[in-house]
């Protein structure tokens, strides 16, 4: 049982034209960023309250061990995990000019389905891209801001729900407050990085899309590379009602600008990423997925793997066509789910109460395949090498797609 719980810690919820970033730009109108700053271009969503919780959370405790400082927040100030446990985040200061912000994965939870991590552990797991001692890790010397995932709403929700009608809250999905609180600590600790990598695994990968808006608000001028690990924003192909219902349940409409007319009508979150890239020329994206991701297609979307592959290629392909120098993919054949953390052990540990696990998920979890930055390959190029090229924005950073 513990093996599947560890694996669960990585799971998720979930035609190009050139255009200037004005009120007429929609998610479909993709193209290279015009000469406008994100402070101007993102004003539309900031006006809707995306940044309302910045600066409001209060820390309750602060502990340091093994070079990592963990902050626990007072739930009364807003940040909280799914079932009411305190939210925590952690930082590792390596005196670097570069900053890695990592959004952990851990499922998703809504009224008819819940498979999610519901507690935030202490510290930062030393796994692959988070391991400062791993020779092949392109980010081993970078400062780290680590966000456990315990809200089930992809770091974006602002909703409480009593699902069984007993008068008690069953879901406290304060993902936006959690994200805001953690980034407040991040900008206080590391106010002037030269580069930022905003990386998310699975549900955290989805969280990078709304996360861009807050990161850009706090660090207005720095280059941002988004790395999406099995959370590219691809949704339930052919079923836009699925995403629309999650937007409603999680109460995340504030992230979707009125000028992006297909942001709330598409089956995918990629139109919002498109809207962001059209307005931010200092934003790049490196996206990883397998074609037939068993967790995304089989557990959360419950669609044929071939249909998932179709949606993945179409949604991400449109972005690459629009931004060939700034949006690149590493897509592989097979059913792998996540490759940035390698070994999933240590994320949940022995606390089995940290997981909501529906019985019908066990069969799919039993066949889960996890990669690592060293073993996931395109030809002879490893994910570690691809990420090294991506963070340096060198000529070696190219599209890598299996046939």
Predicted confidence (pLDDT) per residue in 280-319, tens digit: 999 999 999 999 999 999 999 999 999 999 999 999 999 9
Tell me the pLDDT band of 33, cut-offs 50, 70 and 90. low
- Here the tokens at position 21 are 């970033």
Range of the domain at 59: 2-401
pLDDT the model gives residue 32: 63
Residue 263 has pLDDT above 90, yes or no: yes
At which residue do the structure tokens 């069953």 appear?
170
Q: What whole-number distance in Å separates Cα of residue 244 and Cα of residue 296?
A: 17
pLDDT > 90: what percent of the chain? 81
Query: What DSSP designation does 295 have?
Result: I
Q: What whole-number distance in Å separates Cα of residue 326 and Cα of residue 303?
A: 30
Tell me the pLDDT band of 1, cut-offs 50, 70 and 90. very low
pLDDT the model gives residue 185: 98
Tell me the pLDDT band of 239, cut-offs 50, 70 and 90. very high
pLDDT the model gives residue 324: 98
pLDDT the model gives residue 357: 77
Residue in 136, 139, 89 with CA at minimum distance from that of residue 377: 136
- Here the tokens at position 149 are 């995932």
State the total domains in the chain: 1
Distance of CA 293 to the CA centre of its chain: 16
> In this structure, what are the phi and psi dihedrals at residue 181, rounded to the nearest 5 degrees?
-60, -45
pLDDT > 70: what percent of the chain? 88
Instruction: Please check whether residue 222 is in contact with residue 131, taking contact to mean a CB–CB distance below 8 angstroms.
Output: no
b/e map of 377-403 (b: 16 or more CB within 10 Å)?
bbeeebbbbbbbbbbeeeeebeebbee
**Alpha-carbon distance values, 360 to 24, 113, 148 (Å):** 44, 10, 25
Instruction: Please check whether residue 331 is in contact with residue 340, taking contact to mean a CB–CB distance below 8 angstroms.
Output: no
Residue in 115, 65, 175, 186 with CA at minimum distance from that of residue 354: 115
Query: What DSSP designation does 376 have?
Result: -
Q: What whole-number distance in Å separates Cα of residue 121 and Cα of residue 351?
A: 10
Region for residue 95 given its phi and psi (left: phi exceeds 0; alpha: psi -120 to 50; beta: otherwise): left
115-137, pLDDT tens digit by residue?
999 999 999 999 999 999 999 99
Looking at every residue in the chain, the average pLDDT score rounds to 90
Average pLDDT over residues 339-355: 72
Give the three-class secondary structure for 115. strand
pLDDT the model gives residue 358: 80
> In this structure, what are the phi and psi dihedrals at residue 388, rounded to the nearest 5 degrees?
-60, -45
Half-sphere exposure of residue 273: CA atoms within 13 angstroms, side-chain side = 31
Q: What whole-number distance in Å separates Cα of residue 271 and Cα of residue 315?
A: 8
Tell me the pLDDT band of 353, cut-offs 50, 70 and 90. confident
Instruction: Please check whether residue 252 is in contact with residue 193, taking contact to mean a CB–CB distance below 8 angstroms.
Output: no
pLDDT the model gives residue 41: 87
Q: What whole-number distance in Å separates Cα of residue 377 and Cα of residue 363?
A: 27
Q: Residue 62, Cβ neighbours under 10 Å: how many?
A: 10
pTM of the model: 0.92
pLDDT the model gives residue 3: 40
Q: Residue 20, Cβ neighbours under 10 Å: how many?
A: 16
Residue in 330, 363, 316 with CA at minimum distance from that of residue 16: 316
pLDDT the model gives residue 350: 56
């Amino acid at each position: 049982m513990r093996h599947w719980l560890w694996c669960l810690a990585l799971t998720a919820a979930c035609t190009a034209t050139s255009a200037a970033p004005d009120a007429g730009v929609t998610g479909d109108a993709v193209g290279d960023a015009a000469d406008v700053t994100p402070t101007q271009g993102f004003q539309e969503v900031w006006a809707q309250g995306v940044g309302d919780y910045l600066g409001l959370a209060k820390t309750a405790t602060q502990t340091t061990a093994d070079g990592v400082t963990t902050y626990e927040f007072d739930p009364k100030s807003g940040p909280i995990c799914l079932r009411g446990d305190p939210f925590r985040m952690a930082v590792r200061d390596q005196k670097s000019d570069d900053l890695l912000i990592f959004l952990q994965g851990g499922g998703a939870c809504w009224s008819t389905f819940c498979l999610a991590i519901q507690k935030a552990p202490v510290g930062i797991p030393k796994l692959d891209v988070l391991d400062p001692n791993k020779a092949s890790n392109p980010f081993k010397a970078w400062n780290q801001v680590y966000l456990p995932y315990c809200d089930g709403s992809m770091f974006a929700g602002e909703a409480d729900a009593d699902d069984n009608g007993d008068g008690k809250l069953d879901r406290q999905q304060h993902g936006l407050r959690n994200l805001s609180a953690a980034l407040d600590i991040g900008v206080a600790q590391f106010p002037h990085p030269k580069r930022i990598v905003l990386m998310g695994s699975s549900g955290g990968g989805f969280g990078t899309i709304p996360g861009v808006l807050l990161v850009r608000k706090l660090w207005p001028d720095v280059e941002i590379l988004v790395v999406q690990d099995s959370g590219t924003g691809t949704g339930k192909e052919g079923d836009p009602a699925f995403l629309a219902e999650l937007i409603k349940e999680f109460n995340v409409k504030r992230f979707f600008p009125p000028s992006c007319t297909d942001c709330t009508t598409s089956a995918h979150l990629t139109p919002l990423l498109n809207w962001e890239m059209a307005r931010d020329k200092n934003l790049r994206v490196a996206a990883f997925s397998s074609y037939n991701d068993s967790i995304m297609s089989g557990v959360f979307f419950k669609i044929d793997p071939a249909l998932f592959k179709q949606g993945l290629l179409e949604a991400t392909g449109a972005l690459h066509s629009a931004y060939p120098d700034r949006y690149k993919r590493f897509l592989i054949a097979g059913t792998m789910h996540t490759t940035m953390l390698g070994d999933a052990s240590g994320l949940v540990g022995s606390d089995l109460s940290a997981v909501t696990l529906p019985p019908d998920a066990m069969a799919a979890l039993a066949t889960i395949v996890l990669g690592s930055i060293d073993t996931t390959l395109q030809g002879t190029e490893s994910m570690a090498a691809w990420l090294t090229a991506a963070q340096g924005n060198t000529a070696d950073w190219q599209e890598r797609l299996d046939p």
